[in-house]
Amino acid sequence: MATEILVNDGGAPARILPFTAGSTIAAGEPVIMATTDGEVDSVAAAASGTMALGVSLTATTSGNMCNVISGRGVILNASVSGTVVTGAELELSGLGDFQPWTLHDAGQGRPTALALEAGTGDPRLAKVLLL
């Protein structure tokens, strides 16, 4: 049985926007906007603390359409890694998913999602709220 990526729009409309993929992207994976060609890419090459454009609704390969869920207050199943506790603030990792927010203690950046369930394992889909 497939896991649904979009769980609930949280009362705020989720935007599902079409972009061309610049790399292979899994369903539930956060994506960033490439700075050179306007395509969306996996966050695997992004530095921690980078803001996500949104989360891929479906899996896709480079050059094909990538439907991206975007919007504050949207609840979805997204790719996460590390030990995540319910209520944890999340940032993008260099692995192509969300991880616990590490810049909090340094007072830098801001979280991009909030964990709505706990768990461990790398990577896995977990319920998050986009901030």
pLDDT in tens, 66-77: 999 998 888 999
pLDDT-derived band at 46 (thresholds 50, 70, 90) equals low
pLDDT above 70: percentage of residues in the chain: 85
pLDDT above 90: percentage of residues in the chain: 40
Contact by Cβ (8 Å): 92, 42: no
Query: What separation in angstroms does the CA of 29 have from each of 9, 24, 76, 123?
Result: 17, 10, 11, 10
Distance, CA of 51 to CA of 74 (rounded, Å): 16
Give me the number of domains the chain comprises: 1
**Token pair for residue 102?**
């590490």
Q: What is the pLDDT of residue 28?
A: 92
Distance, CA of 54 to CA of 40 (rounded, Å): 10
Could you list the residue range(s) of the whole structural domain that residue 33 is in? 1-131
pTM of the model: 0.84
Number of residues assigned to the chain:
131
Q: Is the pLDDT of residue 19 over 60?
A: yes
Q: What is the pLDDT of residue 10?
A: 59
Beta strands (DSSP E) in the chain are: 6-8, 15-20, 30-33, 40-42, 54-56, 65-70, 75-80, 89-92, 98-100, 113-115, 124-130
CATH value at residue 85: 2.40.300
Cβ-count burial of 99 within 10 angstroms (0-12 exposed, 13-18 middle, 19+ buried)? buried
Query: What separation in angstroms does the CA of 70 have from each of 30, 61, 90, 105?
Result: 10, 20, 16, 27
Q: What is the pLDDT of residue 49?
A: 55
